[in-house]
Amino acid sequence: MPQISQCVACAWEAENNVRIDDSLSNVAWGRRIGVSEGGIRRHRVNHAGREPEAGNAAGDDADPLAGGKMELGPDGGSFEDVRSDRPLDLGDWDHVFAKFKLDPAQFEILDDTVYCSTWQTSKRTEDGDRDVIDLYSYKARFRRKGANERALSELYREAERRTAPPILLPSRHERSTVVVLADWQIGKTGRRGGTPELLARLEHARRVLAGVLAERAPKRVVLLDGGDGIEGFESGGDPQFTNDLSLPDQLDAYATEMFKFVRLAQAFGPVDIGAVPSNHAAWRRGRQSLGTPADDFGLFVHRQVAKLAEAKDWDARWHFPAEYDESLSIDVDGTPVGLIHGNQFGPGKAIDWWQSQAFGAQAVTHADVLVTAHYHTWGAGVAGINQATGRERHWLGAPTLDNGSDWYKNIAGRDSLPGTLVFDVTPDGFDLGSLTILGA
């Protein structure tokens, strides 16, 4: 039998607290002493063990809750506008759950979602007068006990079903290591010295690179020459006063240093070498370029080194742009890597230039990675998704080992430390985590 609050009859004085039966006379007698018919019925229920009939006055009066709306989902729900003529115990919502036919043992209220409002209204008393009473309205959210734990475990199970097998890093022999050589400008003097100092930095770079290649043990090494290997004499400034090598000596030193890098790389496996034309190495008279982009002193040097490599039977292949092109793309284990010197666009405009190449179907149009030089500083950026490969495109601006461009520092006030850019390409594409700059 549901618990019913203390009846009015039991609050009478002792002489009136008599046993009430079902006779009509007792109802009339109750009225004479100021107890309503509902009070008489509640007294019967409490003391005679009889349940109130559904919808009768005794049941309605005994239940303080009125109205309200419930929404129920798989893991919980909410109560809205649950009204009462007395304050509810906010720590005990069992009677609210019971009102909506929910098992309190299976649900719990979320404490920080309980809201209460109260107001006053007029209500007619049993003797016919009107009195002011307080009314209360409650709303709260509830959850099925353990729902969060079940929901989270289900999410993890769903994630496991959707997740591919564990990601295994490619073995070192599945990697190709790309080394970017850029803007040496052999023959130029600056704050970092002249040719002797540059040759020392190049030698140091090879020693450090040898350790990196020994550790990574790539299946292939890719050398990318971003151009400006020599300072030249036709690219502006006063090179006839600031250079410490003649043009023939610059070309000789350039070929010697490039040969040493190829010799180092081929000791670790097959080598691919990519080279592009550049402004300092261009065949020109003053500011006027002569011939085609292929008529470049840097490309000339590479052709001589290629002859030496062939004579030594090294596993080395050279890649050059087409005669009238200035950019190049090399397939590195399925990842197209583009190369351009960088004098074709202004500072910070590499990605804009790259994007425009799509309209001309240029060599770097479908590259995943674009490597540039010319600006002597490290830089990087993301250029959207390559629809051809489904991978993210990356622009990489290469630093240099040169003696410094003091004229630019005097104008812009900026400078960067010398270094050599190195990164890996795996069967999954460009490995951003492998990218490093080898300091001088």
How far out from the chain centre does Cα 265 lie? 36
Work out the number of other CB atoms within 10 angstroms of the CB of residue 290. Answer: 10
Distances (CA, A) of 377 to 381, 416, 417, 420, 437: 13, 6, 8, 10, 11
Token pair in block for residue 285:
């008279």
How confident is the model at residue 39, as a pLDDT?
Answer: 59
pLDDT of residue 336: 95
From first CA to last CA, the distance across the chain in angstroms is 90
Stated length of the chain: 440
What integer pLDDT is reported at residue 318 of this predicted model?
98
Chain-centroid distance of CA 261 in Å reads: 37
- Please, which residues have CB within 8 angstroms of residue 432's CB and are 6 or more apart in sequence? 394, 423
Task: Give the model's pLDDT for residue 178.
Answer: 98
Q: What is the pLDDT of residue 41?
A: 57
Q: What is the pLDDT tens value at each position of the chain, 440 positions in all?
A: 334 344 445 544 444 444 444 444 455 555 555 565 555 655 555 554 434 443 333 344 456 677 788 898 877 889 898 888 788 887 788 888 888 889 888 888 888 888 888 888 777 767 767 777 888 888 999 888 876 555 666 667 767 666 655 555 555 568 999 999 999 999 998 888 889 999 999 999 999 999 999 999 999 999 999 999 998 888 766 677 788 899 999 999 999 999 999 999 999 999 999 999 999 999 988 888 899 999 999 999 999 999 999 999 999 999 999 999 999 999 999 999 999 999 999 999 999 999 888 767 788 989 999 999 999 889 999 998 888 888 999 999 999 998 776 544 544 445 678 899 999 999 999 999 999 999 87
pTM, two decimal places: 0.63
Res 284: pLDDT = 87
